[in-house]
Amino acid sequence: MTITRTAPVRTAAPVTGTGKRRVSRGRLGLHAFLMTVSLAFLAPLLLAIYASLRPYEETAKYGYFSLPRHLSFDYYAQAFNDSGMGKYFINSLIIAVPGVLLTLFLASFVAFCVTRLRMRGGLVLLMVFTAGNLLPQQVIVTPLYVLFTKINLPYWMSDSMTMYDSYWAVLAVQVAFQVGFCVFVLANFMRTLPEEITEAARVDGAGVWTQYWNITLPLCRPALAALATLQFTWMYNDFLWALVFISDGDKLPITSALNNLRGQFFTDYNLLAAGSVIVALPTVLVFLLLQRHFIAGLTLGASKG
Amino acid sequence: MPLINARRAKRRGPRRFTSRDLAVIGVLLGIPILLDLALVWGPTLASIGLSFTNWDGIGDIQWVGIDNYKTLFTDYPPFWPAVRNNLLWVAFLGCVATPFGLLLAILLDKGVRFSRFYQSTIYMPVVLSLAIVGFIAQLIFSRDQGALNAILANKDNPVDWLGDPELNIWMVLLAAAWRHTGYVMILYLAGLKSVDPSLKEAAAIDGASETQTFFRVVLPTLRPVNVIVGVITVIEALRAFDIVYAINHGRNGLELLSVLVTDNIIGEASRIGFGSAIAVVLLAVSMGFIVTYLVQELRGGKKG
């Protein structure tokens, strides 16, 4: 293991210069190294999937790292039914989907104002947003909790009649917190767009909205796609905000549903493994489907800077 | 005189907003600013204020000066271990996971075959929630049935990887690095793709070795990415929470500042004043890094 780890690094240096044989050998070592790392990174996930397919009695007796005797999808059905995952999944989507859209919309406009309109104080604005996103979440939790219990909402918006214990609370915090990150990335991206495009539009009499919505935003599509995947993952995976701002168990997002699978005195880890796989599936799928956009977005953002 | 006129003219240029423009800007810039001030910066200031009180969340708010901080530094046993663990977290992610991610990015940037596969598998852990990562860590490291003890075949004398307060922090760091490496790799990969290939060619023609080219030519052009990665590393290390909370609620060797804050604020004790004081310590350290970073950004922005 250690040999394959260090070898390609050392051989990597002379690869380009020297003869063909060295090249193929270096490449082979490189593949061996990358394959080892990939498998090492994948192994824990495979173990979790493997554990989820085996009955508890078996792993309790022989350990998780043993040959299978029975394999079944029973735990998936049980995890899905016992913890009411369908409902919690909807809860997560209720927060994450509008959250991502709102965050991207607001952040892109702020970034547009800062980079394209050359507003005075733009840099300060950028710093306020960026720094805000870097604050530890625990710092703002308590005052927000107090604030949300004091804000009353009509019944049609929240059955608790307050902002506390409603989706609105989590949604608002997610948007406020994540706008900072998106402003930062989008401002960097927009700086790389040629100035002439908006200037020409301005000469033609285009207003701020047209310059933003019809001209700048379409050019930001790759960055927006990258941010959308990242933001969806983060909002979907969050559990601190929901833990603090929601008390009604039925409104919790899916990450906290995992806790329902934890017994008070005895925890069936294989059941929990099945639950984890179900919870992880959407983000893994989103990443695999959108990874082309995702990496293209990050690359394009950096390329012209 | 002409200089001043020119500047004035320039300033007047983009300021020709119609009233409709102003309305659009007012609303669409106003909402995010209000949200940010009300839900992020306002609460931050409130936390600082609360840290000087002994509020329990229900009764009256009483001013106690710096009492909370005194107790924290001298008479609160989990505090210093938590600080130590947070620093260890910064050091481990910064000195092990981040360079490893950079190395992987460099190797993948060479355009090897199957790089999409390697890239996807190494990035995969990043999309998992830390709660799930914490759970998977239990599958691997648990004492009696964990995979690691099975691989090491020490069935008679199993190591309690997560229960031993001397050992468990390292196992958790490994799990955290598992996620961090992929994230760093993707960021660097994006940065490396943007390095002008002609720069590397020129260096090669001048007789620079690949290592030299990397350190003298490529790394300096990656400066913006380096800064982002550095800040993400430190901030993530200071903010770390979910993973230890999922494993054992951050006790028995896994203390972290974020956990202590949560325990004091959300727990049954509800010592909000005291919890806020810990939060402020966390804030102060984070702010140190945030400000350094922003100053850097500012300078870079002016130069660019």
- Range scoring the smallest mean pLDDT among B8-22, B110-124, B183-197, B262-276: B8-22
Instruction: Dump pLDDT digits (tens) for A109-153.
Output: 999 999 888 788 888 898 899 889 888 888 898 899 889 988 888
Which pLDDT value is given to residue B300? Answer: 62
Whether the per-residue pLDDT at B10 is higher than 60: the answer is: no
B182: chain A residues, CB-CB within 8 Å: 41
Per-residue confidence at A265, pLDDT binned at 50, 70, 90? low
Contact B120 A269 (CB under 8 A): no
Instruction: Dump pLDDT digits (tens) for A19-67.
Output: 455 557 778 888 999 999 999 999 999 989 998 998 888 877 777 777 7
Which pLDDT value is given to residue B153? Answer: 74
Whether the per-residue pLDDT at B249 is higher than 50: the answer is: yes
B257: chain A residues, CB-CB within 8 Å: 138
B146: chain A residues, CB-CB within 8 Å: 63-65
User: Is A32 at the interface with chain B, CB within 8 A?
Assistant: no
Whether the per-residue pLDDT at B199 is higher than 80: the answer is: yes
Whether the per-residue pLDDT at B15 is higher than 70: the answer is: no
Q: Which two tokens stand for residue A278?
A: 């179900």
ipTM value, please give it: 0.82
Half-sphere exposure of A272 (CA within 13 A, CB side): 21
Which pLDDT value is given to residue A1? Answer: 36
Contact B124 A287 (CB under 8 A): yes
Report the share of chain A in percent with pLDDT over 70: 88
- DSSP code per residue over chain A: -HHHHHHHHHHHTTTTTS-HHHHHHHHHHHHHHHHHHHHHHHHHHHHHHHHHTS-HHHHHHH-SSS--S---SHHHHHHHHHTTHHHHHHHHHHHHHHHHHHHHHHHHHHHHHHHHS--TTHHHHHHHHHHHHHS-HHHHHHHHHHHHHH-B--TTT-TTSBSTTSHHHHHHHHHHHHHHHHHHHHHHHHHTS-HHHHHHHHHTT--HHHIIIIIIHHHTHHHHHHHHHHHHHHHHH--HHHHHH---GGG--HHHHHHHTS-SS---HHHHHHHHHHHHHHHHHHHHHHHHHHHHHHHHHHHT-
Which pLDDT value is given to residue B71? Answer: 92
Contact B145 A302 (CB under 8 A): no
Per-residue confidence at A83, pLDDT binned at 50, 70, 90? confident
Average pLDDT, integer, range B16-32: 89
Counting beta carbons within 10 angstroms of the beta carbon of residue B219, is it exposed (0 to 12), middle (13 to 18) or buried (19 or more)? Answer: middle
d(CA B117, CA B115): 5
Whether the per-residue pLDDT at A254 is higher than 80: the answer is: yes
B144: chain A residues, CB-CB within 8 Å: 63
pLDDT mean across residues, chain B: 84
Contact A136 B282 (CB under 8 A): yes
Whether the per-residue pLDDT at A227 is higher than 70: the answer is: yes
User: Is A290 at the interface with chain B, CB within 8 A?
Assistant: no
Average pLDDT, integer, range B199-204: 84
Q: Which two tokens stand for residue B211?
A: 């290592």
Distances (CA, A) of B119 to A35, A131, B125: 11, 30, 11
- Range scoring the smallest mean pLDDT among A257-266, A291-300, B86-95: A291-300
Shortest alpha-carbon distance between residue B284 and chain A (Å): 10
Choose among B36, B132, B297: nearest Cβ to A128: B36
